[in-house]
Structure 1
Amino acid sequence: MENGYDTDIGECGGKLSDGQKQSLAIIRALLRDPQVIILDEATSKLDVDAEKAVLNEVLAHKRTVLIVAHQLRIVEKADHIIFMEDGLVREEGTHQELMNKKGGYFRLKEELFSESS
């Protein structure tokens, strides 16, 4: 931001966009260097470039990260994915394992998402 740490963000961040608020919240959490971090739709207000930067930073350190996401591209780098639908675990594994599974739930959802983007 133009004035760095001295930037006036307004009361409760009122002068920030939703994406800026979301980025700031994640950055504040990361500054504590937690061993476990839970992200629930944490990048929903970010553009794709900001989303990649945030996820790279979150995943850069040795920590457990639980990500709840509807955008499947967010979990591509995850060590382990648990794909749930209607409250049930449908599949689990790495991104590659799930993509290699013919007719699998995860692969079908990702293909649908790719077509609609």
Structure 2
Amino acid sequence: MAGTPSLDRSGWSGALDEVTAAHDRELVTIEVVDPSIGHQYEAERLPFSYLAYDPKDDVAIVGVGGEPPRCPVVLRHMVPHPQEIDITTLATSQTAVRVLDPEGTATLITFYPVEPASGS
């Protein structure tokens, strides 16, 4: 997500609330890119629940699931003490969020619109 300016810390909560509202009922993939161990998927195309920044605990949180029967439990991925948060629209018109932790590990959150169910 080179070339995307990082958000100012004071705007993190509001910006992530806007992302949550804009992507209600979409699917989300969470990827963790760690400089020492490489690329790992935390979640692949699960129902998006919310994305938030808690300034009191200094943590960014993405919640997925919470939609029975496929994903009845909300799972949370947390990034403590984030250093940067970027929001961008990819060439595919998908929205992506990058959260960078103090050790340089990036959490990438990519949104996918839900395909309409085909008629029977």
TM-score (norm 1): 0.26
Select the structure that is richer in strand: 2
Select the structure that is richer in helix: 1
Larger Rg: 1
